[in-house]
Amino acid sequence: MEFAALSLYNQAIILFAALALFTSFIMLAQARMMPLIFTFAWQGLLLTVVSVLVAIASGHPQLHISAAITFCLKVVVIPYLLYRLSARLNMQYDAEVIEHPTLLLLGGVALVIFSYHVSQSIIHLSGLATRNTIAVSMAIELLGMLLMCARKSAVAQVIGFMSMESGIFFAAVVSTYGMPLIVELGLAFDILVASILFGVFFFHLRDSFGSLNVGQFNRLSEANQPMPSPEATEPSSGERS
Amino acid sequence: MTLLEITLLAPLLGGLLLALLGHRPIAGWINIAVGMATFGAALVMALEVFEHGPQLSAGRMFYIDAFNVYLVVLTAFVGLTTSIFSRPYMRHEVERGRVTDRRLRLYHSMYQCFLFSMLLALSTNNLGVLWVAMELATLTTVLLVSLYRTPEAIEAAWKYFILCGVGIAQALFGTVLIYFAAESKLGGDRDDTLLWTVLHSVAGGGLDPAVITLAFVFLLVGYGTKVGLVPLHNWLPDAHSEGPTPMSAVLSGLLLNVALYALVRVKMLVDASLHTNLAGNLMMGFGLLSFTVAGLFLHRQHDVKRMFSYSSIEHMGLITFGFGMGGPLATFGALLHMTVHSLTKSAIFITVGHACQLAGTQRIDQIRGLIRTQPAIGWGLLLGTVAIAGFPPFGVFISEFLLLMATMKAWPWLTIPLLVGFGVAFAGLARHVQRMVFGEPPPGQKPVEANMLPVVVHLFLVLWLGLAIPGFLARWFEQATVLISGASPL
């Protein structure tokens, strides 16, 4: 691993990718809503910086468009939407209880190691910088998924979802210098619609369940009759697995 | 304007128009008219493809061959018949006060947008656009699942959104990996690397096997979630049972097919570049697991729509198993099964929708005596169930028989779990349906306004396919089989 032998641009790319991975861990452990949303925005910003650096280092000007899309969606629009919704639902100071935080973070570490292990198999295709960044992007995706599995709050699940999406977008930027433009635009459109729909759902959830805690979902499960009494329910963690 | 453009634009423009007019009484008719335009264009296009072979559109954006054109026709057809059913059904829902004007507009508009996204997914030549269209299909249906705004519906829709969102994100990662493999082979300066036709032509030259294997695993998990393969099936019974019934009919009859189509397209690439049976074996494993588990779950259901959605999982598992086995006979059987399952299952959901309106509930133990209150619905449900369970005069029997034959040739031991599975699934369906169809009707149960035309047409087609597959259709399936498996079954 001769990091010093890499060009400065590549070193900076690895540095910012590592920082983005670090923000994923922060999100995993962050119980309060507002800092969670801000951390997500920071991750978006870091990934934007990486995209710009890759664009300059590799001479692919179309990556600037990807960077702009990432910036608009992940740093401005989605965090702003989530922020405003949390404020309107009066939950910006809410914090949820994270069960087994140590185990969760160790699980995250295991996922990072797993990502590096998987990306070893594609060593011969690319250089050092790409290999690291592919592993990091896969780790960001998997950590987003872990966040979704571990949390019961709808907001945290949305953040996990968007973080997964960021990880994949990042993978496309570093491994193939972006997807074809039409695909990127379609992707951005889908994510935008998804974030608006999530917002709609927050209100529906609050109206139906009184809170955004999806851990209390228990009406649809194989273990129950269609209309279960509230006490005769399965643990909610089994439902979303 | 080409026929393909009409096929795609009709539902898109129809969706926009219905976003404005969807709450008017005429909306149901507009919905049907748009469905007819789509189906007509798709049919003529199919005949053209049948005569002149695969078509590549001008900008290479769209690619139509024997495999996807028949799914396009099927999608347009079931979309049309379901829209015929949905007109009286939704009017009844409005009268019962379950749907407001605004939601009715949303329903009509999203119905057409959903059809558009599926037709786009089927006809596009670009794997990235295929992904975008699949995600769009989720987005357009998620608000329809929660249309009734009951806590159950909201819960089902949230689950659907999150699970399918996560699943389909894996498929995007797989798509990126395929792009990565293709780009390192072709060089990075082209903009057509993600086109399926380009990928398929270079796949034989060997894309990096490690990357392709990894990509297929991600794609299988991703699109497999949408197909409803066990253990990723949790969203499916919920979404089917809580949404309005026309939605269940198109979700079950069409969306699952489209997701499986995406998976099979990718499998064709993977097979060509790996020269092993890895993709097929994975699909066989997941397919058989889904088939078995869903068959068992049929027995424990209390909700009629939930029960039939488990039956969908079971049949999709069987089709995935068939495609996974490869080989001309299995592929032919799987293609035929896709068709007859779509037709039968949407017919069943249409009947079930009327039955639920008749009984005022979806609970199996409260639906009784359908055949005495309204014979058309009772017979429809009975015949539909007989057909889907795979009894001889119907087409499902033929396709299941073909799949069984193929299994017996290639993997003789696996015929045992298949046969047991058929038996278990039939028992599960029969024990519930028998009581709903016969039995003593509860006092005061009155017939409802029902349009059984779609059911009759669907079941007639399934019966026809069971008695004799028309020559042109057989040749069509054969072309598709040759395309997928590389050899002819006939």
The tens digit of pLDDT for each residue in B46-79 reads 888 888 878 888 778 888 888 888 899 999 999 9
Instruction: Give pLDDT tens digits for A117-170.
Output: 888 877 555 666 677 888 899 999 999 999 988 888 888 889 999 999 899 888
Q: How many helices (H) and strands (E) does chain A have?
A: 8, 0
Share of chain A above pLDDT 70, in %: 88
Which sign, positive or negative, has the C-alpha torsion B370, B376, B381, B385?
positive
How high is the pLDDT of residue A125? 58
- For the beta carbon of residue A106, count every other beta carbon within 10 angstroms: 11
CB pairs under 8 A between A and B: 138
Per-residue exposure over B65-75, b if at least 16 CB sit within 10 Å of its own CB, e if not: bbbbbbbbbbb
How high is the pLDDT of residue A127? 64
How far away is chain B from the Cα of A3, in angstroms, using its nearest Cα?
23
Contact check, Cβ <8 Å, B165/A180: no
* Cα separation, B161 vs B167, whole angstroms: 10
Instruction: Give pLDDT tens digits for A194-206.
Output: 888 888 888 888 8
Long-range pairs for A95-102: beta carbons < 8 A, 24 or more residues apart: A95/A31, A95/A32, A95/A33, A96/A31, A96/A151, A96/A152, A96/A153, A96/A156, A96/A213, A97/A31, A98/A29, A98/A31, A98/A150, A98/A151, A99/A150, A101/A29
A184 pLDDT higher than 80: yes
Partners of residue A165 in chain B, C-beta under 8 Å: 169, 172
Span A76-87, average pLDDT: 90
* Cα separation, A137 vs A133, whole angstroms: 6
**Half-sphere exposure (CA, 13 Å, Cβ side) for B224?**
26
Least CA distance to A177: which residue of chain B? B188
Span A185-195, average pLDDT: 87
Instruction: Give pLDDT tens digits for A96-107.
Output: 888 888 899 999
How high is the pLDDT of residue A236? 40
How high is the pLDDT of residue A233? 39
pLDDT band for A79, please (50, 70, 90 cuts). very high
Q: Does A83 touch chain B (CB under 8 A)?
A: no
Contact check, Cβ <8 Å, B176/A208: no
Q: Please give the span between the terminal C-alpha atoms of chain B, in angstroms, as a whole number.
A: 37
Place of tokens 């058989």: B288
How high is the pLDDT of residue B188? 64
A180 pLDDT higher than 90: no
Least CA distance to B179: which residue of chain A? A176
From A122, A181, A187, residue closest to B208, measured CB to CB: A122
Contact of B419 with B404, CB cutoff 8 Å: yes
B141, B143, B144, B162: best mutation site toward chain A, by most A Cβ within 10 Å?
Answer: B162
Output the DSSP codes for A183-215.
Answer: HHHHHHHHHHHHHHHHHHHHHHHHHHHSSSBGG
* Cα separation, B218 vs B173, whole angstroms: 7
A109 pLDDT higher than 70: yes
Contact of B64 with B55, CB cutoff 8 Å: yes
Strands B55-56 and B63-64 turn out to be antiparallel
Query: What's the token pair of residue B489?
Result: 């079954």
* Cα separation, B332 vs B329, whole angstroms: 5
Q: Does A164 touch chain B (CB under 8 A)?
A: yes
B187 sits in the region (left: phi over 0; alpha: psi -120 to 50; else beta) called left
Partners of residue B161 in chain A, C-beta under 8 Å: 197-198, 201
Instruction: Give pLDDT tens digits for B226-238.
Output: 998 988 888 899 8
How high is the pLDDT of residue A220? 72
CA B57 to chain centre: 25
Partners of residue A221 in chain B, C-beta under 8 Å: none
Contact check, Cβ <8 Å, A220/B238: yes
A168, A170, A206: best mutation site toward chain B, by most B Cβ within 10 Å?
Answer: A168
How high is the pLDDT of residue B408? 93
How high is the pLDDT of residue A229? 37
How high is the pLDDT of residue A234? 39
- In this structure, the dihedral spanned by the alpha carbons of residues B84, B318, B426 and B369, taken in order and rounded to 10 degrees, is -20
A226 pLDDT higher than 60: no
Contact of A202 with A209, CB cutoff 8 Å: no
> What does the DSSP 8-state code read for residue B148?
T
Radius of gyration of chain B (CA): 21
Contact of B390 with B396, CB cutoff 8 Å: yes
Give the H/E segment covering residue B55: strand B55-56
A241 pLDDT higher than 70: no
Output the DSSP codes for B71-138.
Answer: HHHHHHHHHHHHHHHHHHHHHHHHHTTSS-HHHHHHHHHHHHHHHHHHHHHHHBSBHHHHHHHHHHHH
How high is the pLDDT of residue A238? 37
* Sequence-ordered list of residues with C-beta below 8 angstroms from that of B82, at least 6 positions apart, any chain: B246, B249, B250, B253, B346, B350, B454
How high is the pLDDT of residue B218? 92
Residues of chain B with pLDDT under 50: none
| A 144-163: CB under 8 A from B | 145, 148, 154, 157, 161
pLDDT band for A87, please (50, 70, 90 cuts). confident
Instruction: Please name the amino acid found at residue A89.
Output: L
- For the beta carbon of residue B461, count every other beta carbon within 10 angstroms: 17
How far away is chain B from the Cα of A171, in angstroms, using its nearest Cα?
7
Instruction: Please name the amino acid found at residue A42.
Output: W
Examine the predicted complex and report whether its ipTM is higher than 0.95: no
Determine the angle formed by the axes of helices B278-297 and B304-325, rounding to 10 degrees: 160
Query: What's the token pair of residue A32?
Result: 């309060």
Instruction: Give pLDDT tens digits for B415-453.
Output: 999 999 999 999 999 988 988 888 888 887 888 877 888
| A 112-131: CB under 8 A from B | 118, 121-122, 125-126
From B188, B234, B306, residue closest to A177, measured CB to CB: B188
